[in-house]
Structure 1
Amino acid sequence: MKNKQQWLTENDITCRDDGARLISFFINPIEESVMFWTFIIFAIFALMFVKLGAYSVWMAIFAGGLKVAALVIICLVIWQVFQKLFHKSSRL
């Protein structure tokens, strides 16, 4: 069995290694950049909610989503029509 001093020394080294890994995780420039831009984006959303009101912001988001969905559907229909008209092996 290890004596108390030896156990404390090994445990202290393990804690220091974990602390160094934790510090390097938070100091890594990529994570700092991601955290910075996430904060900026959420701050902009918060200002939009305050300035325009929560309901109008949600309506703008939903309207944008509907426009994107309509655009995707239109593109898929055009693609299907193009395939039917110009594909040699298909018949109408």
Structure 2
Amino acid sequence: MANSDYVEVTTTSLTFAAGETSKTVSVTVYGDAVYEGDESLYVNLSNASGATIADNQGEGTITDDDGQPAISINDASVTEGNSGTATLDFTVSLNHASTS
């Protein structure tokens, strides 16, 4: 289930006290500056005791806040001259570099 973007939740036992109706299962998410698109992860319930499982899977979405890198090229011009050679230089730019 886990990858380099979050810490896998290992098998955890939840116990509800009298009158308690909710618990939180937390997943640690690591920030980065790598374009990956949004990612989904799942937390599953199993082996309930004293209750039935009405919905056994929760889906979490890690929304990627890093834009997709893009390249562009500028226009260029050169005067040809009357002899010899000339160089026409184009600049290719990356809008932002990924960290990996």
Which TM class, normalised by the smaller chain length?
A: under 0.3
TM-score (norm 1): 0.17
TM-score (norm 2): 0.17
Identify which of structures 1 and 2 has the higher relative contact order when contacts are C-alpha pairs closer than 8 Å and 6+ apart.
2
Structure with greater Cα Rg: 1
Higher-strand-fraction structure = 2
